[in-house]
A and B are shown apart, each in its own frame.
Chain A
């Protein structure tokens, strides 16, 4: 049972790479920004339907939340647009490794500083070594 769940999480990651690869191609025909827009616009419709039928939270909290909590969309746009531009030039593998290095390094800093609502925790030395190893991997295949 547990094994099945791990497999689902693996598939989730595979889906991210497939998504990037396809958008790289779509970007060539309709434009990079336009591809990103397609994703966010159609994604909004899909998730909108999901929220209507399965949403248990409170959408109205949006207007009460601190404004910094509303910047996720902006960050997501930058992320996806960089991928759409980058993947046709460096390939999916290299783009994904770079993204992962950035992600891991940043999450370490966020935790260490206790930013963005997280609790400040001392960074373990394992994680520092891990990020360094990832950087080596990136340089190696560049």
Chain B
């Protein structure tokens, strides 16, 4: 079961990456906030139809859900704003890599302490090695991207 979840999550990442390229192209003419707005509204429209026909949860329970659970939307929006703020100052590459590091560290912390009432997974030596590998990988991506960027600007100057 969990191998399927991992595979699905890898696909989730693939979709996310495609989404950010697509939104990047769209936002050049439409604007950043506008592009985000279109993403959210089409997402809401699609899910509305899907839930009508195949939803087996209870949307009305949202009124009874604890407010801290509803606050998740602010974290999503917060992510967007922080990214929009950071990218022009430090560049897409550095911003993305910092984001990923934040995402990983926070993910490990939440697992270790079982924050928010979810699954608890203790931090161990394997996870430490995995984090180190990820940091090395991110460093390599940074180097690779910087090289590509330098070549691109060199080409423009020629």
A residues touching B (Cβ–Cβ < 8 Å)? 2, 5-6, 8-27, 29-44, 46-48, 50-51, 54-59, 61-62, 65, 68-80, 82-83, 85-107, 110-111, 115-119, 121, 123-127, 129-131, 133-134, 136-138, 140-142
B157 in the interface, Cβ–Cβ < 8 Å? no
A126 near B58: Cβ-Cβ < 8 Å:
no
- In the complex, chain B residues 13-62 whose Cβ is within 8 Å of any chain A Cβ: 13-27, 29-48, 50-51, 54-59, 61-62
Contacts of B75 in A (CB 8 A): 15-16, 18-19, 22
Taking a contact as CB atoms under 8 Å apart, the answer to whether A99 and B25 are in contact is no
Pick from A24, A38, A69: contact of B22, CB below 8 A: A69
Collect the chain A residues with CB atoms within 8 Å of residue B29's CB.
57-58, 61, 65
Tell me the minimal C-beta distance from A96 to chain B in angstroms.
4
Asked whether B48 lies within 8 Å of A12 as measured between CB atoms, the reply is: no
Contact A51 B152, CB 8 Å, known A12-B79, A29-B61, A31-B57: no
| CB<8 Å pairs between A and B, sample of 18 | A9-B86, A9-B98, A22-B69, A33-B51, A43-B43, A47-B80, A56-B33, A57-B34, A58-B31, A75-B16, A91-B111, A93-B110, A101-B13, A102-B9, A104-B141, A107-B21, A133-B137, A133-B140
B37 and A59: CB pair below 8 A?
A: yes
Bound Cα distance from A51 to B80, whole angstroms = 13
Please determine whether B115 and A21 come into contact, CB atoms closer than 8 angstroms.
yes
In the bound complex, CA of A65 to CA of B100 (Å): 30
Q: Report the separation of the CA atoms of residues A69 and B6 in the bound assembly, to the nearest whole angstrom.
A: 28
Q: Are B16 and A99 in contact (CB under 8 A)?
A: yes
- CB-contact partner of A11 in B8, B68, B102, B119, under 8 A: B102
The 5 closest A-B pairs by CB, nearest first: A31-B57, A57-B31, A102-B13, A13-B102, A73-B42
> Measured between C-beta atoms, what is the minimum distance from B30 to chain A in Å?
4
Contacts of B10 in A (CB 8 A): 98-99, 101-102, 105
B72: Cβ under 8 A from any A Cβ: yes
Within 8 A of A (CB), among B94-127: 94-95, 98-108, 110-111, 115-121, 126-127
- 8 extra interface residue pairs, beta carbon distance < 8 Å, beyond A15-B78, A62-B30, A105-B13: A15-B102, A59-B34, A68-B22, A69-B22, A72-B23, A73-B46, A76-B40, A101-B10
> CB distance B30 to A61 under 8 Å?
yes
Known A-B contacts A6-B90, A97-B104, A101-B13; A13 and B98 likewise in contact (beta carbons under 8 Å): yes
A39 with B76: in contact, given A33-B55, A127-B144, A142-B6 (CB under 8 Å)? yes
